[in-house]
Amino acid sequence: MKQELVERIKNDPDFIRLTRERSRFAWILSIIMLVIYFGFVLTIAFDPAILGTPLSEGSVTTIGIPIGIGVIVSAFILTGIYVRRANSEFDELSNRIKDKVKGL
């Protein structure tokens, strides 16, 4: 009986949609984060003078500091975007699938 239930869930259109959309969305956000991170690292590696430029004349703080903070903040923002969508759209689909299983 358990294997039959698993197969019914795996073949459910809502489950297929949930896994496809969640996976696609996670990959998109991961790629965005990798581009941001590796863009920062590659800039440090190949043209560190860009990030070493002072924010203003006589300033000790370089442009690399706010950009580095931006890299970290972007990770939090992308995580928040994922959580927001997971708590709305993905949870709704998950609940719909659970309700179908309870109704069996």
The total of structural domains in the chain comes to 1
Q: Among the listed ranges 21-25, 34-38, 89-93, which one has the minimum average pLDDT value?
A: 89-93
Query: In whole angstroms, how far apart are CA 100 and each of 23, 88, 94?
Result: 22, 19, 10
User: What is the CB neighbour count within 10 angstroms for residue 18?
Assistant: 19
pLDDT of residue 1: 57
- 3-class DSSP assignment, residue 38: helix
The pLDDT tens digits of the residues spanning 4-15 come to 888 888 888 999
Does residue 3 or residue 32 have the better pLDDT? Answer: 32
Is the pTM value of this prediction over 0.75? yes
CB 102, CB 42: distance < 8 Å:
no
Mean pLDDT, the chain, whole residue set: 93
Q: What is the helix (H) or strand (E) element at residue 93, kind and residue range? A: helix 91-102
Domain of 48 in residue numbering reads as 2-102
Percent of all residues in the chain with a pLDDT value above 70, rounded to a whole number: 98
